Homo-oligomer: A and B are copies of this chain.
Amino acid sequence: MARPRLPQSILHPVRLLPLTFFALIVLGTVLLLMPFARTGDGSASLPAAVFTSASAVTVTGLSTVDVSTYWTPAGQVTILALVEIGGLGIVALATVLGLFIGGRLGLRTRLVAQVDMHVVSLGEVRPLFRRVAVTMLAFQSVVAVVLTIRYRGTYFGDWGTSAWHGVFDAVMAFNNAGFSLNPDSIVRYAGDGLVILPISTAVFIGAMGFPVLAELFKEWRHPDRWTIHTRLTVWGSFLLLTVGAVAFLAYEWSNPGTLGGHSWHHKLVTGVEGGIMPRSGGLNSFDWGAVKPESEMIATVMMFIGGGSASTAGGIKITTFLLLAYVILAELRGDPEVVVGRRSIGPAVIRTAVSIALLAVMLVAGTTLIIMTMTDFAFSDVLFECASAFGTVGLTTGLTPRLPVDAQMVLVVLMFIGRVGTIAAASAFVLRRRMPRYHLPEEQPIIG
């Protein structure tokens, strides 16, 4: 389980991610405080600017104010830009930080100065990054066009408004951010497959993450060549989509607050949304405050799991979740090693996965307790809100604008940690690093 020590110089790029996001949030706050960003006279309030900037940069989408009326079009463009930069920043930084090693797309854990890191030449990655970026931008444009046409035909009177909404929603969807130009998110499009399905598909693809998309782009015809990481992410995404959609439909089918009384078509379209959105997208065509408590609980778990690594989704990530499932399976079978797809998973990776998941549990539980102490909202709703912030999801049962400022700032911290990662955030608090020079004798305490 020995790990090579990193030269100090490597520590710098690792700290790039939190510092970049922090700087972006400060920049966004300053911009949103400008009078041009706020409707009417005066400027936005400091808490609203901080919260919105943090929510945009971390591609979450929670909002303490109504985006459609609180901000001017200039303010909304600022939010759009922060989301695009935040979302692109994740992809770019993941690339610069050297996720890629070896000749073909072998992917490696690169967890914040804890694991050895092979930074390849940028020249090797750049053409690939450009191809993926161009493809994504093309797909994003297609979604924007589809939405614009549909919006013009059914919802808005002019092409200008339709195009603005189409572009905004396409960008939000691809970056898994949940801001909307409507006060009711996408409720007015509920059951409209030509709006909900393009948006949901964009969210689903965005939540895969750049490393997976890059590998799919190169090797989509040869699933047998995919890395473990890509296989886990792709199959895990479809598995969670299916489980989430089926569970959502089962519980909400006849709930008058959500799907009850609607057509089959409406229900199935919303079921797809219900299976995809909670893992990272923050747009909603129905009121999450009206779902059954069972759906709220399942969505909370989905938000906690999140999407693919180095994607715009948050949470502990699909790979972490599935790896832990394999650990349990190996333990129950009595296997000497944890094996995933004919590859052995070493104890160091398992230890990291465990730490990520448990730190996340502690973080979400701890902040839930803090916000419960600050307010009188129900446990399930506060838990949902904290999971949404930590998972940078953006769904809410309606709490966000009703929270006191101190509770809002707790969510800001959660979104930030959810974005940069629990290990990266927690490592900052653990200063001492030691490396014993001898191997201590083993002892097995009784557990369980």
A440 touches B109 (CB 8 A): no
8 contacts between A and B (CB under 8 A): A108-B444, A297-B365, A319-B445, A328-B358, A337-B436, A344-B439, A345-B444, A421-B448
- A309 partner, pick from B2, B335, B432, B448, beta carbons under 8 A: B448
A356 touches B447 (CB 8 A): yes
A444 touches B294 (CB 8 A): no
A294 touches B352 (CB 8 A): no
A435 touches B332 (CB 8 A): no
A19 to chain B, nearest CB (A): 18
- Given A1-B336, A294-B373, A380-B380: A344 touches B443 (CB 8 Å cut-off): yes
* Nearest CB in chain B to that of A310: its residue: B446
A47 to chain B, nearest CB (A): 24
B327 touches A109 (CB 8 A): no
- What chain B residues lie within 8 Å of A448 (beta carbons)? 111, 309, 316-317, 320, 352-353, 356, 421-423
A332 touches B379 (CB 8 A): no
A279 to chain B, nearest CB (A): 15
A109 to chain B, nearest CB (A): 4
User: Is A12 located at the chain interface by the 8 A CB criterion?
Assistant: no
Q: Measured between alpha carbons, how far is A108 from B430 in the docked complex, in Å?
A: 31
A359 touches B328 (CB 8 A): yes
- What chain B residues lie within 8 Å of A228 (beta carbons)? 443, 445
Q: Measured between alpha carbons, how far is A443 from B107 in the docked complex, in Å?
A: 9
- A443 partner, pick from B227, B334, B357, B443, beta carbons under 8 A: B227
- Given A316-B448, A328-B359, A445-B109: A435 touches B344 (CB 8 Å cut-off): no
- What chain B residues lie within 8 Å of A251 (beta carbons)? 373
B336 touches A355 (CB 8 A): no
- What chain B residues lie within 8 Å of A426 (beta carbons)? 328, 332
Q: Measured between alpha carbons, how far is A378 from B292 in the docked complex, in Å?
A: 11
- What chain B residues lie within 8 Å of A443 (beta carbons)? 227-228, 340, 343-345
* Nearest CB in chain B to that of A325: its residue: B358
- What chain B residues lie within 8 Å of A441 (beta carbons)? 343-344
User: Is A126 located at the chain interface by the 8 A CB criterion?
Assistant: no
The 8 closest A-B pairs by CB, nearest first: A347-B347, A343-B443, A331-B355, A309-B446, A229-B445, A344-B440, A332-B430, A379-B380
A391 to chain B, nearest CB (A): 13
Q: Measured between alpha carbons, how far is A225 from B320 in the docked complex, in Å?
A: 38
A346 to chain B, nearest CB (A): 5
- A232 partner, pick from B328, B335, B439, B445, beta carbons under 8 A: B445
**Residue of A296, A345, A349, A445 most packed against chain B (CB within 10 A):** A445
Per-residue interface assignment for chain A, residues 1 to 12, with 1 indicating a CB less than 8 Å from any chain B CB and 0 otherwise: 111000000000
Q: Measured between alpha carbons, how far is A328 from B361 in the docked complex, in Å?
A: 12
- A331 partner, pick from B2, B352, B365, B379, beta carbons under 8 A: B352
User: Is A222 located at the chain interface by the 8 A CB criterion?
Assistant: no
* Nearest CB in chain B to that of A108: its residue: B444
A336 touches B379 (CB 8 A): no
- What chain B residues lie within 8 Å of A232 (beta carbons)? 445
A442 touches B293 (CB 8 A): no
- Known pairs A297-B372, A297-B379. 16 more at Cβ < 8 A? A1-B347, A107-B446, A228-B445, A229-B446, A251-B373, A293-B372, A320-B447, A323-B445, A323-B447, A327-B354, A331-B351, A331-B423, A335-B435, A336-B435, A339-B436, A422-B448
User: Is A110 located at the chain interface by the 8 A CB criterion?
Assistant: yes
A227 touches B351 (CB 8 A): no
B343 touches A327 (CB 8 A): no
B227 touches A319 (CB 8 A): no
Interface members, chain A 368-399 (any B CB < 8 Å): 368-369, 372-373, 378-380
- Given A331-B114, A337-B439, A379-B380: A447 touches B109 (CB 8 Å cut-off): yes
